[in-house]
Structure 1
Amino acid sequence: MSTSKIILGTTAGLAISGILGILFAPEKGSVTRKQILDKGCDYADDLKSKFSDLAASITDKIQSTKEFAQDLTQEAKTKFDDAKNDVNSSSSNY
């Protein structure tokens, strides 16, 4: 099972159990609704934070891949230029 499915299942389970715990608590309706709203905001903030971390991680990986491709391109260009110069110098010897 993939990690994202496990995280999603765990988060959903925590949210449902939190809401059920609040609903069955012996509090007034207004207090219970406030607690549900607060828990929902907490979960939303946590989800936003995790999404931001994921987006930053993806951005870093893209940047790293881009830099690797640029380095690889530069190395290939240098080797091509060296080979071209070798061919030119070899042909001038004949």
Structure 2
Amino acid sequence: MKTSNTILGIVGAAAAGALLGVLFAPDKGSETRKKIKDKSKDYGDNLKTKFDGIVDTIKSNGREIVDEGKSKFNQVKDDFNAIKDEAKTVKSNY
């Protein structure tokens, strides 16, 4: 989670810096508002792309963990059944 917080902090700081730069630029109010709107959209799109990438990574890793867990469970179940069958064989020999 620290990496995502760092990324969000950097993006937020960059957005704040861009906003301040636009606000102090010597342009007409309508031009300044348009620049703010355009920059906000760009940063929003960029943030959404990064967030979607993080979500996809989490989903992918989650699937791998579940699949590996199922595989381990099935292996343990098979080992248990093999031991149980062997115990029955040993018991029947006595």
Same structural fold, with TM-score higher than 0.5 when normalized by the shorter chain: yes
* Structure 1 residue matching 2:27: 3-state secondary structure: coil
Kindly provide the amino acid, as one letter, of the partner of residue 69 in structure 2: A
Question: What are the residue-to-residue correspondences of 1:1-94 with 2, within 5 Å?
Answer: 2-94=2-94
Distance 1:30 1:51 in 2: 31
Query: RMSD in angstroms over aligned alpha carbons?
Result: 1.2
Distance 2:24 2:71 in 1: 60
Distance 1:93 1:81 in 2: 19
- Work out the percentage of aligned pairs sharing the same amino acid: 38
* Structure 2 residue matching 1:71: 3-state secondary structure: helix
Distance 1:55 1:3 in 2: 13
Unaligned runs of 5+ in 2: none
- Shift of residue 88 of structure 1? 1.1
- Shift of residue 5 of structure 1? 3.2
* Structure 1 residue matching 2:19: 3-state secondary structure: helix
Count of residue correspondences: 93
Unaligned runs of 5+ in 1: none
Residues 4-29 of structure 1 deviation map (CA, whole Å, 9 limit, x = unaligned) = 33222211211111011111112111
TM-score when scaled to structure 1? 0.91
- Shift of residue 91 of structure 1? 1.4
Structure 1 segments (4+ residues) deviating >6 Å: none
Distance 1:84 1:49 in 2: 52
